[in-house]
Amino acid sequence: MSKIGFIGLGIMGRPMAGHLLDAGHELVTVKRGTLDATLAEKGAKVAADPKAVAEASDVIITMVPDTPDVETVLFGENGIVEGLRPGTLVIDMSSIAPIATQGFAKRIHEAGGEYVDAPVSGGEGGAINAALTIMVGATEEGFERARPILEVMGKTITHIGGHGAGQTCKVANQIVVALTIEAVAEGLLFASKAGADVAKVRESLLGGLAQSKILDVHGERMIKRTFDPGFRIRLHQKDLNLALEGARSLNLSLPGTANAQQLFQACAAHGGADWDHAGILRALEALADHEIGR
């Protein structure tokens, strides 16, 4: 069993850390207020800062919101790199910029560690059920070292390529997810405006070619109007920014992605930055002057 440092006990990180404790690993985290009672009962310990976490760990996992947050945790004052022991495995499971990830990997390697980028898909439900899809960028050695730990938290674990490749895959994932959520919202809105029973429409679509996990999970959220996260719109905006910035650097047009980002921005402008991303429906409803089911 490993001594694991886990930084980032949010909606996703909390259940992920719990699975590691259930598997028999020791776990230490950074104290931010009161430690989650369930994790404390399972034996999680707290340290003063990321440096202290690194000093107590063989493996370090970060699961924080954005690229600057990862950089601060790794290289800021009392950051991980200051307490990094030779050979420590650093696994970043956040969703951040691929190019920055390559730079972080180089700096961790120069400090004597092994770096793996391993962003996830599957949302809160996937984290709770240890059923996450994990996209890995690493050396072959790094991947093999990380695999047993990742298998505790996920079901589909794929080594995409070298450093940054996992993050590139995650950006692609977020493009597909955003456009599919928008498509589901548009379909249900059309059906509702035309006078159909949207619950029965969704039930029928789930049996045909339009079937998807997003139609299943987020379609139900839309019909029941349960927009508590989940996965927050502001975080999906961050991911689509990465996609659009990357597209500019590649001289690539992503019109559907840009449109989805504008709809998310409309939600944020109406106070919805912390809605679940299924809340994109509300922007479309505002344009139509119609709420589904009404």
Residue 229 sits at φ, ψ, to 5 deg, of: -75, 150
CA distance linking residue 18 with residue 23, whole number of Å: 9
Query: Helix, strand, or coil here: 178?
Result: helix
Which pLDDT belongs to residue 34?
59
| pLDDT at residue 94 tops 90 | yes
Share of the chain above pLDDT 90, in %: 93
Residues contacting residue 255 through CB under 8 Å, at least 6 positions apart = none
Of the candidate CATH numbers 3.60.15.10, 3.40.50.720, 1.10.1040.10, 1.20.1050.10, the domain formed by 168-288 belongs to 1.10.1040.10
Of the candidate CATH numbers 3.40.50.970, 3.90.1170.50, 3.40.50.720, 1.10.760.10, the domain formed by 3-161 belongs to 3.40.50.720
Mean pLDDT score across all residues of the chain? 96
Q: Which residues of 216-244 are buried (b: 16+ CB within 10 A; e: fewer)?
A: ebbbebbbeeebebbbbbbbbbbbbebbb
Q: Could you say which of 51, 106, 170, 238 is catalytic? A: 170
Active site residue 170: yes
pLDDT digits 0-9 by tens, 123-163: 899 999 999 999 999 999 999 999 999 999 999 999 999 99
pLDDT digits 0-9 by tens, 210-237: 999 999 999 999 999 999 988 999 999 9
* DSSP bridge partners of 4: 27, 59
| pLDDT at residue 294 tops 90 | no
Residue 148 sits at φ, ψ, to 5 deg, of: -60, -30
pTM: 0.92
* Type and span of the H or E element at 148: helix 140-153
Domains 3-161 and 168-288 share a fold: no
Task: Compare 40 and 291 and report the one with higher pLDDT.
Answer: 291
**Extents of the domains making up the chain:** 3-161, 168-288
